[in-house]
Amino acid sequence: MQSHRRDERGRYILELLPALPSVWPQGQVSGLRTRGGFEIAMDWVDGKLTQARIESKLGGTCLVRTDVPVRIQTRGHEVTLERRPEDVIAFETQPGHSYQVSATKETEASDRLKLWYDEPAKAWTEALPVGNGRLGAMVFGGTGTERIQLNEDTLWAGPPVPQDRVGAYKAIDEARKLIFDGKYSEAQSLMQREVMGERISPRSYQTLGDLHVAMPSASGSAKSCRRELDLDTAIATTTFIIDGTTYTREVFASPIDQAIAVRLTADEAGSITVDVTLDRPADFEVAPIGSDTLSMFGQASHEGKHKGVRYHTQVQARLEGGSIQVKDKTLSIEKADAVTLLLTAATDYSFDDPYQPLERNLAQTCAKQLAAAPAKDYDQMKADHIAEHRRLFRRVDLDLGATAAAQKPTDERLKAVQNGANDPSLAALYFQFGRYLLISCSRPGCMPSNLQGLWNDHLEAPWNADYHININIQMNYWPVEVCNLSELHEPFFRLTEALLPAGRKTARDVYNCRGFVAHHTTDAWFHTSPFGNVVYGMWPMGAAWCTQHFMEHFRFTSDREFLRTRGYPILQEASLFFLDWLVEDPGTGQLVSGP
């Protein structure tokens, strides 16, 4: 054991078995004292540390370096570890407490359930996602300035939406005759002219905006940067050192407290001096509420057209030490020991009737959520969040083994695999990342996963970030049953059932058919009409494909009540449409679908 090396702040680093002679492959020692006020006991086998006990005489930060990965517990509880460069770990101790150090498997050492990087995100697609089903955030992991992009799953621009071409079934009958006569081009032209509705775009799912946290007094350059997303806790953490002080940010979206939490800490008291602001690309106003809260509000639109959902969001700062004041729509915080930012959001969107907005005071709704969340301290809020996330996430474990590649940042691992490297634990991480995303963007009571899940930084997203029901939404939910997340299917079921009223009308007015129908895409306004170009829009299979997920849910769960009350009725509706839609091919006598 050695303890003569120090970190940049002069604290001693305890090195366990740094130079063990090969002639002592196993053994134990106890009672050794170290610089900095600790007492050590250690066991080792095959020249590797197996366990140790560290007794803190004076308290304070303990820095440890070993050649094997370890976990540390005290009094039956896991100790939070901060990983430093050169395999050094740091943790806080209390005088007189003992800390049990246990060697872990290599796969645990490689943080096999963490995505991590050694520099901030340069683009939105590099940021790390957190979400509670309804609220989402993309964490960039900046140092002197942090951007956290925000989403609320009902924030959509509004109508008009594509409309049914009433009586189009007459043209469809003519088009079928043309097809059976081999006149395909004429049939396609007729369908485009008489059946297809107008494509009305953009009408997009939109960003809620951005939360910015700036450190105006930070003068030095950042060192030892690390940002990570722990899939097991659903927490994005950023750490870095500026001017000898280590700063830590934690971000999560709590499904229990319905708030996004941002925790700012440092290892030196009074070190948190930040400016907090909210903004959005368009359609927003910012106003302070008291001395510790900012609000942002507006109505989604596309340059004043397609006015849709009204929204409101509030961010409140809770300080430990220091001071806060509002300066020019900015929360200015100085010399705090720690800060917790809590962000809530609400809209007037009504899933039960999207064209009749909810009549509620959005500011009061946000304030009520904030009032409920601060009733807990941060540690309790964090613990509740982790427990609820793990209730779902820990149902499935996948371990494919690990190679040395698992010790590298995630982006480097991905590049290496693209160049032929063997990294089986990256495949396992990718699998679990998919489960993590579904947990984070599709919970009962929320909107279903859209083309971008929950996360979108645009006002005009690619393909409107809508619900493409011609394979995309189905693909989002293919893993849900086999990956033991069955209840997360519920938002997709609810969307499909919400298409019934419009889908029945489209079936009747456009096709002269019973049942219900929908086409290649829909959105928060539940339109079902065929629109756009014939080559992609004339596809009356969308609703039926969605109903297949009801049956798949039954096959996995054997829930006969679900089948009786929800599965069978909607399958019947889809079947009725096809019984009327299919037509006999005069050449073969078989029932065919078309055009």
Task: At 94, list the tokens.
Answer: 């209390």
**pLDDT tens profile 394-409:** 999 998 988 888 889 9
Higher pLDDT, 185 or 75: 185
Q: Is the pLDDT of residue 271 over 50?
A: yes
Supply the pTM of this predicted model.
0.83
Q: Which residues, at least 6 apart from 173, have a Cβ–Cβ distance to it below 8 Å?
A: none
Which helix H or strand E contains 229, and what residues bound it?
Answer: strand 223-230
Tokens 């829009």 -> residue: 537
Task: Give yes or no for a cis peptide into 160 (omega within 30° of 0).
Answer: yes
**pLDDT tens profile 464-517:** 999 999 999 999 999 999 999 999 999 999 999 999 999 999 999 999 999 999
> For residue 319, what are the CA distances in angstroms to 163, 236, 333, 379?
52, 21, 8, 14
Q: Is the pLDDT of residue 109 over 50?
A: no
* 568-581 and 500-511 helices, crossing angle to 10°: 10
What confidence score (pLDDT) does residue 374 get?
65
Q: Is the pLDDT of residue 106 over 70?
A: no
Q: Are 249 and 214 in contact (CB under 8 A)?
A: no
What confidence score (pLDDT) does residue 339 get?
97
Beta strands in 481-580 (DSSP E): 521-522
Give the separation between CA 450 and CA 447, rounded to whole angstroms: 8
Query: Cβ–Cβ contacts within 10 Å for residue 339, how many?
Result: 26
Tokens 């997303």 -> residue: 229
Query: What spatial distance separates the first Cα and last Cα of the chain, rounded to whole Å?
Result: 79
Q: Are 132 and 254 in contact (CB under 8 A)?
A: yes
Query: Cβ–Cβ contacts within 10 Å for residue 116, how many?
Result: 19
What confidence score (pLDDT) does residue 404 get?
83
Instruction: Please compute the mean of the pLDDT values over residues 529-548 and round it to a whole number.
Output: 98
**pLDDT tens profile 331-389:** 999 999 999 999 999 999 999 999 999 999 999 999 999 998 766 789 999 999 999 99
What confidence score (pLDDT) does residue 565 get?
98
The residue count of the chain comes to 595
Task: At 508, list the tokens.
Answer: 């009747």
Across the chain, what does the average pLDDT equal?
A: 95
Give the pLDDT band (50/70/90) at residue 456.
Answer: very high
What confidence score (pLDDT) does residue 80 get?
81
Domains of the chain: 13-104 (2.60.40.1180), 114-155+205-393 (2.70.98.50), 169-197+481-592 (no CATH)
Q: Are 413 and 407 in contact (CB under 8 A)?
A: no
Supply φ then ψ for residue 500, to 5 degrees.
-60, -50
Measured at the CA of 520, the angle between CA 514 and CA 526, to 5 degrees, comes to 70
Supply φ then ψ for residue 251, to 5 degrees.
-135, 130
What confidence score (pLDDT) does residue 375 get?
67
- Strand arrangement, sheet containing 77-78: 27-34, 38-45, 48-56, 98-103, 70-74, 77-78
**pLDDT tens profile 147-179:** 999 999 999 999 999 999 999 999 999 999 999
